[in-house]
Structure 1
Amino acid sequence: MTEAHPWSRYVAIGDSFTEGIGDPDPATPGGFRGWADRTAEVLASTADDFAYANLAIRGRLLQQIIDEQAEAALALHPDLVTVSAGGNDIIRPGTDPDEVAGRLEGLVQTLSSEGATVVVFTGPDIGATPVLGRMRGKVAIYNENIHAVALRNDAVVADMWSLRELADPRMWAPDRLHFSPLGHHTIARAVLASLNVENDLEDQVLPEAAPRQWRAARREDIGWAREYFVPWVLRRVRHQSSGDGRSAKRPDAVSVVYRQE
């Protein structure tokens, strides 16, 4: 069981990654569980009156997170905040990772202004990911900026780039843009480790994957592009977002129950 920790009020902000997309769970508000819910459940297991809110909404860009979620997060008086933001900006053509990181730093300063511990995230190594892999260098530059932002502002870094296990396709959802339940579980373990919180979440050791035949892999790639990538591109062209009309799944800080994996 988890050892005691100093936090009693946790607020998560961000986009689809923090909302938990890719980790479906009908019993969870919004229908997705995700690493943030999993992290909160563990933290709640040894803290009396622990409360958790999740303000993240899929598709949100950094400026939207700043404008829509920062003030709402502070209004809940958290002593722990996780913020993963800027990823949707970075994968868009023409964005400057240095400029995006500068705005992220302002957000971190705002969130920490009342003494909360702030956790930020590096992006995963997407070098082997179809389509997104070509943006690997841009993500790496953004990640270096995130480390610098954390150092200057006494924030905690949950370093997903260093999680080599995330290179396994089984860590990713069928859309190849979000993490699978296994991926979210792995990231929850990493977040807890970054906070020096011991826990009972097991390290998931995967058996060696069966080799993929070239022809079958190409069929899968074509099917993926038709079902997921083309709609994503069309939303960009039409200036639409998967989060349009959606609200936060956990807008209020409430208690959560630890679920043994």
Structure 2
Amino acid sequence: MIDGYKVADSDGNEKSREYGWSIGFGLQQADGLQPSEYAHDVARRQIAGQISYGQAAQEISEYHAANPSQKEHREADVVSQRISEILQMPTFAFSPGVLKAIHGKLFAGVLSDDWTGVWRTENITKQEPALGGQTVQYSDSMWIEPTLEYDFSEEKKRQGSYQRASREDVAESVFGFLSGVWQIHPFREGNTRTAATFGILYLRFLGFNVGDEPFAKHSQYFRDALALANASDPAFKTAEPLQLFVKALLFDSSVQLKSLRTDEPFAH
């Protein structure tokens, strides 16, 4: 008799939970946030299987309700737990709607309701240290949806050729796509963490073994590499740091990723 469908374990296993929390905590560095020691304790117990993800979320919520002096850590704590939980998902769908859903899951109750899980409606800038204080030119808010639809459509077409391409070429193409999504900056806040979470799920969908250390220890580098890849000023624009990050993430864990936050453009 053929076995029927089975319900996937949404809490993963000890190894996958450790992987998820490592990335969840590390990605907060991309926005200069620091998780609390309490969240690290919750993570240790959740990784060990003593509590579920739902219980971990509840404990973190109750802790911050009772400790308003720790508000500087709240976003990092809540979002770290949610990233780890999302990374237990054994399923994936490739669409802008999934990107939007991930943002909604990560930031519900953390960011303003009118910023969460919706495309931004304002035009924004942000001083980037890797660009000497300049901003990346993000998409105009009125172009976000059609631009994302186009980029996803083009990437969907490329997927047909990935089976015949080298893994290095596939990785380069995928990160070119993810870099473009990040440049659009479809959300008011939380774009880097959302793009990274979506990107990990997508890479796994394509059969890549995605290491945790580059995101866990070098998420600030990742953001700066995206800024450099999308810089308008030719004195700063370069894809080399992002290519190095991809190599460290997918092919060679011995690659060293050094800070890109200097007063000089990245050395070609």
Same fold (TM over 0.5): no
- Specify which structure has the higher proportion of helix: 2
- Tell me the TM-score normalized by structure 2: 0.29
Alignment TM-score, normalising by the size of structure 1: 0.30
Please say which structure displays the higher CA radius of gyration.
Answer: 2
Between structures 1 and 2, the one with greater strand share? 1
